[in-house]
Each structure stands twice: as structure tokens, then as C-alpha cells.
Structure 1
Amino acid sequence: MKTYVILRRHGWRTAADLEEAAARSTAEGDSRPDDIRWIRSYVLGETDGSLGTVCIYQASSPEAIRRHALAASLPVDEIVEVADTVVVREDPVPAHS
């Protein structure tokens, strides 16, 4: 499998909408573990108040990502294959209030 970045702009109106989408994505991905794996996502605060994401997936192909997105009702604006990974620092742990 290769690693891909998936850009999903303005995909959700609320955090609850995004949580529902994440549950659908997980369920769909778990049914195809040899075809696609969700690694992580970064949630984007869009200028119009909606939420987008930058998602990191491993998949057999961009077509597998599109099939997964269609089955889970997720938007896909762009899919880019990752050429290499450079980790300068680990992702920070979010502060919880």
C-alpha cells in the first residue's frame, strides 16, 4: 500500500457532523483492511466557519480512496501520493480543558 494525503475542504458544518463522518469512515475502512487504512486527520477551520480535513491514508490506489469515500459519504477534493516522510517533531498532544 502507498501513503496518500486527502484534502477535504468545507466538508462539514459542525464538529458533530465531522464525528458522524469519522464513524462512517472507520466502519467502511475496517471492512477493507487490505485495501485502505486511515492513519490520521487534521481538522481545518475554514474561513466560512465550516470544517475541512487533511487526512493521511494508506491505500492500494487513489481509486480505493474514492470507493471508500463514496461508500462513507465523504468529500474528496484532492488526493496526493506521499513521496517521503520527514518528521521534525511528533504531533503535539492536544490540551484538554
Structure 2
Amino acid sequence: MELYVIRRAGAWPDLPELARAAETSTRVGNEMAGDVRWIRSYVVREPDGRVGTVCIYEATGPDAIREHARRVGMPASEIFPVLDTVVVRDDPQRAQAAE
């Protein structure tokens, strides 16, 4: 599997809707475990007030990501293969949780 960044722009009206989609995404991801693996997501407030995400997935390819999104009923607005990772610091949320 390769690493991908997926942009889901303005996909949800609010955080509760995103939470419901995340539950479905986890279930579908477990069904597709040989093809996709959700690593993490960064939740963003879109300019129009809706909620979007930037997600990190491992997948066999973009088609597997699109199929996962189709089954969940959410967009995969943009899919980018990750060429490299540069980590300067751990995510702040993880660092705070560890304290």
C-alpha cells in the first residue's frame, strides 16, 4: 500500500455529521482492510462555515480510495500520492494529550 492525502472539501454541515460519517468510514474501512487504511484526518472549518477534512490514508491506489468514499457516501475531492514526509514536531494535539 502507498500513502495518500485526500481532500474532502466542505463535505459536512457540522461536527456531529462528520462524526457519523467517521463511524461509517471506520466500518467500511474495516470491510476493505486489504485495500484502504485510514491513518488520520485533520478537520478544517471551510470559508462557508461547513466542515472539511484533509485525510491521510494508506491504499492500494486512488481507485480504492474512491470506492471507499463511494461506499461511505462522502467525497474524495482530491487525491494526492505522498512522495515524502517531513516531521518537524509532533501534532500539538498528541503532544498535549501525552502531558
**TM-score range for the pair, normalised by the shorter chain length:** over 0.9
Query: 1: CA distance between counterparts of 2:53 and 2:22?
Result: 11
5 Å matches for 1:27-38? 27-38=27-38
What is the CA-CA distance between 1:28 and the residue it aligns to?
A: 0.2
Amino acid across the alignment from 2:24? R
5 Å matches for 1:15-94? 15-93=15-93
Displaced runs of 4 or more, over 6 A: none
Structure 2 alignment gaps of length 5 or more:
none
What is residue 5 of structure 1 aligned with on the other side?
5
TM-score (norm 1): 0.94
What percent identity do the matched residue pairs reach? 50
Amino acid across the alignment from 2:36? I
Query: 1: CA distance between counterparts of 2:29 and 2:80?
Result: 19
Amino acid across the alignment from 1:43? V
More helix by share: 2
Count residues with an aligned counterpart: 96
Structure 1 alignment gaps of length 5 or more:
none
